[in-house]
Amino acid sequence: MKYTTNSLEQTQQIATDLISKLLPKSNSAMVVGLYGNLGAGKTTFAQCLAKVFGVEETVTSPTFVLEKIYELTGHPSTGSGQEKFTHLIHIDAYRIEKSSELLHLGWQDIISDSNNLILIEWPERVVDIMPEHIKINLSHISENSREIEILD
């Protein structure tokens, strides 16, 4: 699905629509790869997703810390109301030189927990350890416009 967004409100609606379709997997984390050049809107999209989940903390890019974990106590139920994510894990792989750096952060543990929703910016930097995931391509069109393409 391809969208063009011209405002934060429109981006928020795309994030809301995406989350309404996400259900935790039974045996692994749900992983969403955020692809796009610098300034394409990856962090903004992550902020919109976090807002839908009720994260009240300021969500910033984890470029220098690599990973931020948010507890999802206010998560809206999805599906039958039984399934829900308990953690949003936001990873920025831009500064990662080798996939082993992500492994040292406990990558195998976090991707094996079905309660985790993982957003990873720059997933192409760690392609050799990326599991099957939803791909979101973000493109800069103009100062206020972005193209968002969601691939399952």
CA nearest to 122, candidates 132, 135, 109: 135
Name the pTM for this structure: 0.88
Beta bridge partners of 8: none
Helix (H), strand (E) at residue 121: strand 116-121
Domains of the chain by start residue, with CATH: 2-151 (3.40.50.300)
Span 15-27, mean pLDDT? 88
Q: How far is CA 3 from CA 59, 68, 146, in A?
A: 23, 27, 8
Report which secondary-structure segment, H or E, holds 135: strand 134-140
Q: Please compute the mean of the pLDDT values over residues 116-129 and round it to a whole number.
A: 94
- The pair phi, psi for residue 114, each rounded to 5°, is -70, -10
Q: Which residues contact 82 (CB under 8 A, 6 or more apart)?
A: none
Q: Which helix (H) or strand (E) holds 9?
A: helix 8-21
| Percent of the chain residues past pLDDT 70, beyond the cut | 93
* Average pLDDT of the segment spanning 94-109: 90
Mean pLDDT, to the nearest integer, of 71-98? 75
Query: Mean of the pLDDT values across residues 82-102?
Result: 87
Rounded (5°) CA angle 43-91-81: 85
